[in-house]
Amino acid sequence: MGWRVRFKGFAFRREGLPILALAAYDLWLLAFPLQGYFFLKMNGPENFSWFIIPHTASFFLVAWLGHRINFRVVSLFAGTLAAIFTAVYPFLPPFQKYLLALIGITSAFLIVRIGCLLRRCRDPVMASALGLALGNVLLGITLWVNPPKEALFPLLGILLLSQVPAPFYPQRKEPLGDLLRYLPFIFAFYLLIGTFYVCLMPFYVKYYYFNGSELLFYIGAVLSSAVLFRKKPDYSLVVGVGMGVFAVAFLHSFTRLTSNLAMYAVQAAAGLIDVFCFGLFIRGGDVVRRFGLGAGTMLAGPMVGLPVLYTERWPMVLCTGGNIVLGLGLLLFYFVQTTVRGREIYRRKASLVTEIDETRLAETCRALGTPRELFSYREWEILKLTLSGKPIREIASLLNLSESSVKTYLQRVYRKLGVSSKSDLLQKLLS
């Protein structure tokens, strides 16, 4: 019985605490530094730059230093500092700008740590969606209660510590893979939508029909995005960009109705893309670098768009350029994905091992006059790995051989099959 209780406790620490930690961070972000309701009550929009600039730079710092430092310890220390700085923020008016800068730095380490925790959940994407949805539910409750700032900020600081008991697993350095090709689209989307949200929020706070109603659109979007991501990750991205087009279209004329519709659409667009980004960032075993580089690119959008925040005619600026940027982004995304898909089809044709089983490969070799029995164990394994598209360096690592040994075995395979290169081998086997 005791063992079962301990096991359930560990399962909650691994599955439940990361979701709660993300919910706490999301509540903190929306209520406070990201032009949140309570931030706007205490500060003007101009103070936003004190948070966003160091916050963005810190993400890139995490991506660079993540494997050079003890990230588990450093991120835990930074997260604790972010909680302390948040708790004391309303009580130190002369130093609030500097506290915002320190909060921007430390909170970047904190959210990357939470991303590492989410990676160990059974369904990381759905766990991320649930955390974001729960964070918005908590924000709605907070707006309804409307606590005084002297109580709210210490509570936000305490909630940021919810990630401390969660088990942190070691990270390993891996190639960034498909992340790099998505970064331009992520930057363009958040350049527009992030800036749009930051500019719209002060006006929406004045004109909203019902405080917190926009959160329902975000919650529905993040849960829908998790389902779409399961089917195909690109679905979340494409639908999110489409919702962004709707969002900027509503503000061609600035009224109470259009500002509310614009906020609903921008919340839906942000929810779809936020889950897409979480799913992309927490793939594999190198969440530190992926999340640091990806989140830095996300935040670079609204940071670059900061000058628009101080432009009196920002609705016209965003509406004029927004549809153009998002429309061209969709077209560019289509052509890039078409090119990538063509390359993947080519690799799939070359990767015989993924298309046919070992028996069929043996039958093919026999038909070419080289039965399976003529290959040694090493030669056969290297043949299979070569046909699966793996480079020599990776084959050597998998088989614990030197690259020169792999090349030697591969030359023996070529001689037995009567070819002189990998391209000749593929052509002969495919024919």
All structural domains of the chain with their residue ranges: 13-170, 179-352, 356-429
CB-based burial, 260-288: b 16+ in 10 Å, e otherwise: bbbbbbbbbbbbbbbbbbbbbbbbbebbb
* Predicted pLDDT at 349: 46
- How many whole angstroms separate alpha carbon 275 and alpha carbon 218? 11
Q: With bands split at pLDDT 50, 70 and 90, how would you rate the model's confidence at 55?
A: very high
One-letter-per-residue 3-state SS of the chain:
CHHHHHHHHHHHHHHHHHHHHHHHHHHHHHHCCCCCHHHHHHCCHHHHHHHHHHHHHHHHHHHHHCCCCCHHHHHHHHHHHHHHHHHHHHHCHHHHHHHHHHHHHHHHHHHHHHHHHHHCCCCHHHHHHHHHHHHHHHHHHHHHHCCCHHHHHHHHHHHHHHHCCCCCCCCCCCCCCCHHHHHHHHHHHHHHHHHHHHHHHHHHHHHCCCCCCHHHHHHHHHHHHHHHHHHCHHHHHHHHHHHHHHHHHHHHCCCHHHHHHHHHHHHHHHHHHHHHHHHHHCCCCCHHHHHHHHHHHHHHHHHHCHHHHCCCCHHHHHHHHHHHHHHHHHHHHHHHHHHHHHHHHHHHHHCHHHHCCHHHHHHHHHHCCCCHHHCCHHHHHHHHHHHCCCCHHHHHHHHCCCHHHHHHHHHHHHHHHCCCCHHHHHHHHHC
pLDDT digits (tens, 9 = 90+) for 351-397: 444 444 577 778 778 877 788 888 888 888 888 888 877 888 888 87
Q: Which are the contacts of 113, defined by CB distance < 8 A and separation ≥ 6? A: 71, 72, 75, 76, 79, 163, 168
Task: Check whether 3 has a pLDDT greater than 50.
Answer: no
* Predicted pLDDT at 118: 93
Residue 173 near residue 284 (C-beta atoms within 8 A): no
Task: Check whether 41 has a pLDDT greater than 60.
Answer: no
pLDDT digits (tens, 9 = 90+) for 71-86: 999 999 999 999 999 9
pLDDT digits (tens, 9 = 90+) for 96-115: 889 989 999 999 999 999 99
Q: Which amino acid appears at position 326 of this protein?
A: L
Q: Which are the contacts of 79, defined by CB distance < 8 A and separation ≥ 6? A: 106, 107, 109, 110, 113, 160, 161, 163, 164
C-alpha to C-alpha distances, 83 to 72, 95, 332, 424, nearest whole angstrom: 17, 16, 41, 61
- Domain 13-170 class? mainly alpha
Copy the structure tokens of residue 158.
């305490």
Long-range contacts of 146-151 (CB under 8 A, 24+ apart): 149/38, 149/41, 149/42, 149/90, 150/90, 150/91
- 312 versus 364: which is more confidently predicted? 364
Q: Which CATH topology does 356-429 take?
A: Arc Repressor Mutant, subunit A (1.10.10)
Q: Is the pTM of this model over 0.75?
A: no
pLDDT digits (tens, 9 = 90+) for 339-355: 555 555 445 444 444 44
CATH number of 179-352: 1.20.1250
Task: Check whether 144 has a pLDDT greater than 50.
Answer: yes
Tell me, yes or no, if the two domains 13-170 and 356-429 fold the same way: no
pLDDT digits (tens, 9 = 90+) for 283-311: 878 999 999 999 999 988 878 776 665 66
Q: Which are the contacts of 60, defined by CB distance < 8 A and separation ≥ 6? A: 292, 293, 296
- Say which range, 6-20, 290-304, 365-379, 405-419, has the weakest mean pLDDT: 6-20
Copy the structure tokens of residue 154.
């210490």
Distance of CA 239 to the CA centre of its chain: 16
